[in-house]
């Protein structure tokens, strides 16, 4: 049984692991649990891999903590932080009971949690029933759910070197972030062919902008504001996320020869990213490692408000090695041209782009999904 949620970055690695798991143990019965908020996205992603996998929803809740606010400032925001946290604490309790019932009814040999707040009631229920638990932590800054579950885990896989984690070394292994096997560097010829397939002039640079499955309002608004300048010399694919798609679709001229607008990409994303000359993205761990495997020149715009500033820390690891360019999203409110200037500077220096791509590729772990699948199988067999 696998669980994950909170974003596509928690779902797509599970799919990659399940692919490898089925290669090792073809007759394995798998179910995937996700929270209600991300059910549609999870079913789309999971169904694209194998529509026979049963996807169930459970009740779950998260602890709202914001990196830019001190603890006492957060307590002052009763209606927007404190009260929702109280309600979600109750949801976690309900989800725990729900998971107990589900696990008793269908007793799996092992539970695999990929991260996200939905995994807390799942992991606690697995521990209560003495079902072996395997977790994976993608971020360089461990999340609260994984820190809690780690004390009862039988095996732990990490997306970054073990020095970034407080987990017991005897059960932990640095495997990288599981990604689909399709994420490999594209040749110039293949990139040209994909651009033509997408309906673009292959002689013009392609910039792909994505804020992840949930979208990123500041990035979206900056791109829309600067589209006239961007499209003078590039083609653009903007993946807005579902929440802002209708608004942006109404604001952007329908010019499919230069600009493509999507709310979410369930299939074909690897080709879009592979064909891009430059990608602009958030700094989620899965996104970063997918782009690293593609050796893609990348501009990261981390979300600085998330708990623990984990996207800021993720981005800093790669920026330090010259593998990415990082932009502070707060600059985009008043100065959206900063993003265009960064894109222009990269496109003007193809040698620098090549160096970035090569440095980024050194972080890729192409066998991470297989290593996680083997860890799950070993844990189940030890039972």
Note the pLDDT tens digit of each residue in 156-180.
999 988 988 999 999 999 999 999 9
299 alpha carbon, distance to own chain's centre: 16
Quote the pLDDT of residue 32. 94
Give per-residue pLDDT as tens, 75-133. Answer: 666 666 777 778 888 998 999 999 999 999 999 999 999 988 899 999 999 999 999 99
Domains 2-178+366-382 and 188-361 share a fold: yes
Binding residues for UDP-N-acetyl-alpha-D-glucosamine: 7-9, 311
CA proximity to 85, closest of 46, 117, 41 = 117
Residue 176, classified by CB atoms within 10 Å of its CB into exposed (0-12), middle (13-18) or buried (19+), is buried
What pTM does this model have?
0.83
Q: What pLDDT score does 72 carry? A: 53
Q: Which CATH architecture has domain 188-361?
A: 3-Layer(aba) Sandwich (3.40)
Residue positions forming the annotated binding site: 7-9, 311
Biggest CA–CA distance in the chain, Å, is: 61
Distances (CA, A) of 168 to 149, 153, 155, 165, 223: 12, 10, 9, 9, 44
Domain ranges (residues) in the chain: 2-178+366-382, 188-361
Going by pLDDT thresholds of 50, 70 and 90, the confidence category of residue 188 is very high
- Cα gap 265→269, rounded to integer Å: 6
Q: What is the pLDDT of residue 66?
A: 60
Question: Per-residue pLDDT tens for 220-263?
Answer: 999 999 999 999 999 999 999 888 899 999 888 777 789 999 99
Topology of the domain comprising 2-178+366-382? Rossmann fold (3.40.50)
């Amino acid at each position: 049984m696998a669980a994950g949620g909170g974003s596509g970055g928690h779902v797509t690695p599970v799919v990659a692991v399940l692919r490898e798991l089925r290669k090792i143990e073809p007759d394995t019965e798998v179910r995937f649990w996700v929270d209600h908020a991300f059910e549609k996205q999870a079913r789309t992603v999971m169904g694209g891999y194998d529509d026979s996998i049963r996807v169930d929803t459970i009740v779950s809740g998260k602890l709202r903590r914001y990196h830019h606010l001190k603890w006492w400032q957060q307590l002052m925001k009763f209606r927007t932080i404190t009260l929702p946290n109280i309600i979600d604490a109750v949801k976690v309790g309900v989800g725990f009971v729900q998971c107990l019932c589900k696990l008793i009814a269908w007793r799996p040999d092992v539970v695999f949690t990929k991260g996200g707040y939905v995994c807390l009631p799942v992991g606690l229920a697995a521990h209560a029933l003495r079902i072996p638990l395997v977790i994976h932590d993608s971020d360089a800054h461990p999340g609260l759910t994984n820190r809690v579950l780690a004390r009862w885990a039988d095996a732990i896989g990490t997306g970054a070197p073990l020095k970034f984690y407080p987990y017991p070394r005897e059960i932990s292994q640095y495997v990288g972030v599981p990604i689909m096997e399709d994420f490999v560097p594209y040749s110039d010829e293949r990139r040209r062919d994909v651009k033509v397939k997408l309906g673009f002039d292959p002689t013009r640079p392609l910039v792909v902008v994505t804020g992840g499955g949930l979208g990123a309002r500041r990035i979206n608004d900056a791109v829309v504001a600067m589209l006239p300048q961007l499209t003078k010399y590039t083609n653009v694919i903007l993946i807005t996320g579902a929440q802002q798609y209708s608004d942006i679709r109404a604001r952007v001229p329908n010019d499919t020869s230069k600009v493509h607008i999507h709310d979410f990409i369930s299939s074909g994303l690897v080709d879009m990213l592979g064909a891009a000359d430059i990608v602009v993205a958030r700094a989620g761990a899965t996104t970063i490692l997918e782009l690293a495997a593609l050796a893609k020149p990348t501009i990261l715009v981390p979300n600085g408000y998330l708990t623990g500033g984990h996207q800021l820390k993720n981005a800093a690891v790669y920026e330090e090695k010259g593998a990415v360019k990082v932009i502070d999203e707060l600059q985009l409110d008043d100065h959206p041209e900063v993003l265009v200037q960064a894109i222009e500077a990269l496109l003007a220096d193809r040698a620098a782009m090549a160096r970035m791509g090569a440095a980024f590729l050194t972080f890729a772990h192409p066998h991470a999904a297989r290593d996680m699948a083997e860890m799950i199988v070993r844990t189940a067999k030890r039972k």
